[in-house]
């Protein structure tokens, strides 16, 4: 009797401890974020500010010899910057305290090349101080961009510069309060003023800066900081390999601590990386980082900014959106308008979470414990989560609305404090009595948001179909975002057909060919429209269900290119140069060396007065021409040079390059490439076109 009681107690204890093990939180899996990285990730959205002497010289990269007297932002108001960022829903601002030109926005005691020698406020001004004060007033965090490459400093390239760099860093990280992030830009074009040496200096980016000791200094001065670095030792955050405003659809917050990371891996992270290095998506609200008046009309549209949002924050990244400052010291009204409309659109999209007050069930709940139940993913508490048993790496969670509900966005978050795990998942909706897959994706991480055409359903099911370890889902949101229509895309192919593609599935297109503004009374687009001669196409996308129109698209076309022929190239793919589609490109074969010619027969004599070149869009290793000559001929034998020059800043800003020349009658044109962005012989073209009288 006594013996059986004893065995019973032992058994009970075993069961209890077994269940306890199952109801304990899962062990971390793989690398996990530090507290600083977690705090940073939760900021989600913050601003970059690009401001320096470049602002006054219309340059992207100053050479280092620009005159400090140019710096005089008479209306400078960091409170305007902070107000706009705050109203835009941003959580912080990173300021270019020193860009590559070496000019310092604060009165550094280690150089004369700073605001202290500028006319602005009689040399008494300090932009970093004003920024720090404004951030404090508006409840924003402050970050610092300090360019390691310094084209002004005489000792750049020598060990002495590292001391200078650390001294400046110490000033910035000591005198301006808490700094949330420091940005060490790896860009280095080699040449520079360097105190008057005017030469090219090469450094070994893996050793020159001795990053590990600089990191120690940074962390000792600012224990809560995160370090961004794309140039040297692995830091806390990674560049995502593009400035285009997106990170990979698959996005692991992991890299390996050592070894080179090819830029395409920066898009995706490394699935089995040994360190937690999450991606930050940095992009500008305009094509360029610094202010250029010509870009006042090129501020990104709300649909474009929303794409950026879904492709950064919606893909386990943060979004660092840049405002260039104008020479007067303010953000341009067009940029402010775009940022605030974008913020409104995001707010509206996520205003109502339809999962509130719904029931959820899961195919597996860790230890059947209430604290890990499906409902924990819907309770709005970021510290609670739905979890599965250790051995369960695929499972489903079903949300029952109890009635038909309309939606088009699905948001899901992992509890990343214990690691990033999910490799693949799908979302199904119960529509008219059937389960239908409405979206499918790979990684989740801190936050994943999926967009899909609007559906009406009574239930939604999240299926995790592949994971590294058991599942920990801390949040799910389902939303019905108002549709914001994208302007349609207009092209004219070589046959002269106008093709207008709506970007959004739920819209139709109205267009005009006579220059008048398109409304829903204009022609409805039903398929390619044959055209001839010069014309302007204007079009809108329209959603009949919501009675909403997109912003307008406008494209001007010159000669039809039906009779054009590319001479001397047999490759049929070369047609990409004339197909009207900027996203298709053609390259010369590798055996060519500069100068490299492209000759086109226009079919008959034309009155030419200019040409246009659209480069192909690859950022890395591209064949983008920077220096050119343009010739015309009546017979393809005797050529006349009518224009030559450079496509300035084409690498960072790979858009249409438009060149005009004195009118010439000719049947043949020749675009001669003299140099490309990479200093090699690769030469490509997305489009080449002419301008006629
Ligand atoms: C790049 C720099 O070269 C640009 O000028 C800009 O500062 C951007 C954020 O990073 O690498």
- The pLDDT, as a whole number, for residue 297 is 72
For the chain, which residues make up each domain, given as ranges?
35-349, 359-479, 489-557, 565-692
Is domain 565-692 annotated with CATH 2.60.120.260?
yes
> How many angstroms separate the CA atoms of 48 and 65, rounded?
25
CA of 652 relative to ligand 1 center, distance in Å: 9
DSSP 356-414: TT-EEEES--GGG-GGGSGGGGSSS-TT--EE--TT---EEEEEEEEEEEEEEEEEEEE
pLDDT digits (tens, 9 = 90+) for 649-677: 577 667 788 888 999 999 999 999 999 98
| Minimum mean pLDDT range among 194-198, 266-270, 615-619 | 615-619
Tell me, which fold does domain 35-349 have in CATH?
Answer: TIM Barrel (3.20.20)
Decide the pairing of beta strands 179-184 and 141-146.
Answer: parallel
Q: What are the pLDDT digits (tens) for 236-271?
A: 999 998 888 999 999 999 999 888 777 778 999 999
pLDDT band at 6 (very low <50, low <70, confident <90, very high): low
List the residue whose alpha carbon is closest to atom 6 of ligand 1: 289
Mean pLDDT, all residues of the chain = 93
Which of ligand 1's atoms lies nearest the C-alpha of 322? 9
Asked whether the predicted pLDDT for residue 9 surpasses 60, the reply is no
- Specify the pLDDT at position 652: 60
Provide φ and ψ at 293, rounded to 5°.
-55, -35
pLDDT value of position 589: 86
Q: What is the pTM of this model?
A: 0.83
Q: Where are the beta strands (DSSP E) in 442-483?
A: 448-467, 472-479
Q: Is the pLDDT of residue 18 over 90?
A: no
From the CA of 230, give the closest atom in ligand 1.
11
Q: How confident is the model at residue 205 (pLDDT cuts 50, 70, 90)?
A: confident
For residue 612, the tally of other CB atoms under 10 A from its CB is 15
Average pLDDT score over residue span 358-363: 94
What integer is the mean pLDDT of 142-151? 97
Q: Distance, CA 285 to ligand 1 centroid (Å)?
A: 14
Contact partners, residue 7, CB within 8 Å, separation at least 6: none
pLDDT 10s digits, 436-462? 999 999 999 999 999 998 999 999 999
User: Torsion angle, CA of 652/655/658/659, rounded to 10 degrees?
Assistant: 30
Residue 5 has pLDDT above 80, yes or no: no
What's residue 2's pLDDT?
Answer: 55
Ligand 1: distance of its center to the CA of 185 in Å? 7
- 188: pLDDT confidence band, cut at 50, 70 and 90? confident
Q: Which residues does a 6 A CB cutoff place in the pocket of ligand 1?
A: 60, 185, 187, 282, 289
Q: Can you give 152-196 as a three-state secondary structure string?
A: CCCCCCCHHHHHHHHHHHHHHHHCCCCEEEEEECCCCCCEECHHH
1 confidence band (pLDDT: 50, 70, 90): very low
| Residue 47 pLDDT > 80 | yes
551 pLDDT band, cuts 50/70/90, is confident
Provide, rounded to the nearest whole percent, the portion of the chain with pLDDT above 90: 81
Query: Which CATH architecture fits 489-557?
Result: Sandwich (2.60)
List C-alpha distances in Å: 461 to 92, 121, 434, 455: 36, 61, 12, 14
Mutate to test the pocket of ligand 1, among 146, 243, 653 (most ligand atoms within 8 A of CB): 243
**pLDDT value of position 14:** 47
pLDDT in tens, 282-335: 999 998 899 988 788 778 989 999 999 999 999 999 999 999 999 999 999 999
Could you tell me the pLDDT band of residue 621, with boundaries at 50, 70 and 90? low
- Cα(684)–Cα(693) distance, rounded to whole angstroms? 27
CA 448–ligand 1 middle distance (angstroms): 27
d(CA 441, CA 103): 45
Which residue's C-alpha comes closest to atom 11 of ligand 1? 187
pLDDT digits (tens, 9 = 90+) for 505-531: 778 999 999 999 999 999 999 999 999
Common-topology check for domains 359-479 and 565-692: yes
Q: Considering the domain delimited by 359-479, tell me its CATH architecture.
A: Sandwich (2.60)
Per-residue pLDDT band for 210 (boundaries 50, 70, 90) equals: very high
């Amino acid at each position: 009797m006594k013996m059986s009681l004893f065995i019973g107690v032992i058994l009970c204890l075993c069961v209890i401890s077994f269940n306890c093990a199952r109801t304990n939180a899962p062990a971390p899996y793989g690398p996990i974020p530090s507290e600083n990285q977690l705090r940073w990730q939760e900021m989600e959205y913050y601003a970059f500010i690009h401001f320096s002497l470049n602002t006054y010289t219309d340059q992207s990269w100053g050479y280092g010899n620009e005159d400090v007297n140019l710096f005089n932002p008479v209306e400078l108001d960091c409170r305007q910057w902070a107000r706009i960022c705050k109203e835009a829903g941003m959580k912080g601002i990173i300021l270019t305290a020193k860009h590559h030109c070496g000019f310092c926005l604060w009165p550094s005691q280690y150089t004369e090349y700073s605001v202290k020698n500028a006319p602005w406020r009689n040399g008494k001004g300090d932009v970093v101080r004003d920024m720090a004060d404004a951030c404090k007033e508006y409840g924003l965090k402050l970050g610092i961009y300090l360019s390691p490459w310094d084209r002004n400093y005489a000792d750049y390239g020598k060990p002495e510069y590292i001391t200078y760099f650390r001294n400046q860093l110490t000033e910035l990280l000591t005198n301006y309060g808490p700094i949330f992030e420091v940005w060490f830009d790896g860009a280095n074009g080699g040449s520079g003023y360097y105190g008057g040496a005017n030469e090219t200096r090469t450094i070994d980016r893996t050793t020159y800066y001795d990053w590990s000791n600089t990191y120690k200094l940074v962390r000792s001065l600012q224990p809560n900081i995160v370090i961004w670095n794309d140039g040297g030792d692995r830091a806390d955050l990674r560049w995502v390999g593009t400035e285009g405003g997106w990170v990979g659809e698959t996005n692991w917050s992991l890299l390996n601590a050592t070894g080179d990371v090819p830029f395409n891996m920066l898009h995706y992270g490394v699935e089995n990386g040994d360190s937690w290095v999450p991606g930050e998506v940095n992009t500008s609200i305009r094509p360029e980082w610094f202010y250029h008046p010509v870009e006042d009309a090129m501020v990104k549209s709300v649909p474009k900014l929303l794409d950026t949002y879904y492709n950064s924050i919606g893909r386990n990244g943060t979004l660092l959106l840049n405002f260039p400052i104008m020479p007067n010291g303010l953000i341009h009204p067009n940029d402010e308008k775009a940022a605030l409309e974008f913020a409104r659109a995001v707010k509206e999209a996520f205003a109502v979470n339809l999962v509130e007050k719904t029931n959820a069930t899961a195919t597996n709940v860790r230890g059947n414990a209430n604290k890990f139940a499906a409902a924990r993913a819907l309770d709005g508490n970021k510290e609670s989560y739905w979890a599965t048993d250790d051995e369960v790496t695929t499972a489903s969670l079903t949300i029952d609305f109890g009635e038909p509900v309309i939606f088009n966005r699905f948001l899901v978050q992992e509890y990343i404090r214990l690691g990033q795990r999910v490799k693949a998942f799908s979302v199904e909706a119960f529509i008219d009595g059937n389960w239908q897959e409405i979206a499918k994706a790979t990684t989740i991480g801190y936050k994943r948001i999926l967009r899909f055409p609007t559906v009406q359903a009574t239930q939604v099911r999240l299926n995790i179909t592949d994971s590294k370890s058991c599942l920990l889902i801390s949040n799910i949101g389902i939303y019905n975002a108002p549709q914001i229509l994208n302007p349609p895309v207009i092209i004219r192919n070589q046959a002269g057909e106008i093709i207008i593609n709506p970007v959004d599935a739920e819209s139709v297109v109205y267009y005009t060919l006579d220059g008048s503004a398109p409304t829903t009374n204009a022609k409805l687009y039903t398929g390619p429209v044959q055209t001839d001669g010069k014309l302007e196409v204007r079009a809108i996308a329209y959603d009949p269900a919501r009675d909403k129109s997109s912003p307008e698209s406008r494209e001007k076309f010159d000669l039809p290119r039906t009779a054009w022929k590319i001479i001397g190239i047999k490759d049929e793919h070369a047609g990409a140069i004339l197909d009207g589609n900027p996203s298709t490109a053609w390259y010369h074969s590798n055996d060519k060396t500069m100068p490299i010619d492209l000759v086109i027969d226009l079919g008959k004599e034309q009155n030419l007065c200019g040409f246009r070149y659209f480069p192909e869009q690859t950022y890395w290793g591209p064949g983008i021409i920077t220096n050119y000559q343009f010739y015309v001929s009546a017979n393809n034998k005797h050529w006349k040079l009518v224009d030559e020059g450079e496509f300035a800043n084409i690498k960072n800003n790979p858009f249409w390059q438009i060149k005009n020349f004195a009118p010439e009658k000719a049947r043949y044109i020749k675009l001669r490439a003299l140099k490309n962005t990479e200093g090699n012989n690769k030469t490509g073209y997305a489009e080449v076109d002419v301008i006629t009288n």
